[in-house]
Structure 1
């Protein structure tokens, strides 16, 4: 089977959909299928090294914004399909060309544009709900990262249940694994936290991550402590307007750090070194930071919302969404080192399960390609 994967939607920093494509592609190649990739010119060398057996088709146009990329998707991508004649097109980020001529598989990462519209800008919410409705009705098969995303999509769109294929994200245990004290200390020192304990958060600082309530909960939990742990909010800046007011209310003797994106080589030390990785999200398509923290043996605190229990299972601690519930959970975990250690061991074991490998994810993707091809032939 020859599959054309449109990787032109990948952002320059390889975040988000970039991480998904980056980790999936080598495993797809190992299944034996023939993989062709449409890529932006800036990504050619990266994918030449990452996937040397894939055929790369660089896009010479300057796809510097979403509008330019979408225009190319509707014109340039059909021309490429006509030229190389793949058996299946995989569009890994919601949208696909109207004139496609071959079976289409679309990845839908998230249903919160329907279920939690307040967590997105109005423009983004309208764009992605429209794209999802179109994909559910028009694509031959759909890949989603969790059963929760499938079920939420069906709740709002209501058709096409047989098209869905649930492929959990994987975690690269060569990158995400427990590290030794020296590595934890190196990363902590780089953050200015040498010799100090800290509560960690990893993710874009967007409304659905519930960061203002995390900040307030952390203050409530530790404001009377002799040596309160710092709070480290690692990840992209995002657009949550509630964060600044929450930070303004933090007492002067407490420390909050916002280091932005951490280098990939620092993430294992950061996640292994935090006392608790707190991720009190209101909704997730999957929740990859939770899985990555689990693989590092971190004691994870998250919520039971949408996909998060699918990832965490019984290997994480859970809390409610409000600041008081987060505070109670942090106090309990802070007071119980034995429980934190037990959670870390259970988390590492769960993250090592086959279902959370990119190899398993690739197998589900191949099943989706085969289903799309069979449906198209019928």
Structure 2
């Protein structure tokens, strides 16, 4: 089969690789009908996430048709159309029973390595670093899905791939980011980043009743999409984020702040952004923390910081004194997709939201390698890429 494979920093190739096979009775094999490139895939592409090996199949946003089912899988049958969450969960461990699917205690095949790095294991993830299990990803013609009697979400008739594909990651991620804010009707929610997750966080915050949502970015196409979704926008290239947020909140600051950027944050003319880049170049820190610092500074006391943006390692110069003395609450984590998927599927069916709004490019799988660069560099108005194997 064809699959997009990692061959090193900035080197993704469309290779011919062996077809996946059933390895456990709970497995299923999915013939992929649609998959997508995610912002967190760019962390692999840019070399910021350790634990990748040459030939690893990448991608964790995918859906398709069940073509083979393990003998112990009673949930799925051949012909079912499913969206597969990016988090692999067993459904049986203590964390899964609590609904904390992204920290499943059993699905990470490299649990010992994750334990050493993070203190405790995370769940296994499709198409990501070997720190999360080294599972083959979904930017391929076929995928083996472990524990396939737990996570896959069956798609009802009448919905297109484009409407439901993002239930596997970015829609629940934006939704969880907003839910973690405990949004009240009087709240201003400030969201850093107008990429795909930021776009869903905007719409989720408004669905959850925020008074106003403010989105900070500098890419014109992304800012226009944010405004179309109901956000007030701040272009950090041309105006002061601090001054504009103060103006919009009568000097009080936003009650809730969402970091939809993560480890590759930057800001034009920002001293601490330049500091982070220098520290990264010298291998003295792994991630850029500009957005986190700015959120801590501007958030109203007793507010909430919600962090769906991915971080992989070590940060420097975090103003923890401000965080503590302002009484801020921090909520973060990979997304517990199955906690939210059914509710969000119903919202799509009811017409509350059509997630296909975020798609700007649809191409064949073989064009995937070049689209990584297009997406990373925000060329051609690119916000979200869907691949068709």
Does the alignment reach a TM-score above 0.5? no
- Whichever of the two has the greater Rg, that structure is 1
Q: Greater helix share, 1 or 2? A: 1
Q: TM-score normalised to the size of structure 2? A: 0.29
Query: What TM-score does the superposition give when structure 1 sets the normalisation length?
Result: 0.30
Structure in which a larger fraction of residues adopt strand: 2
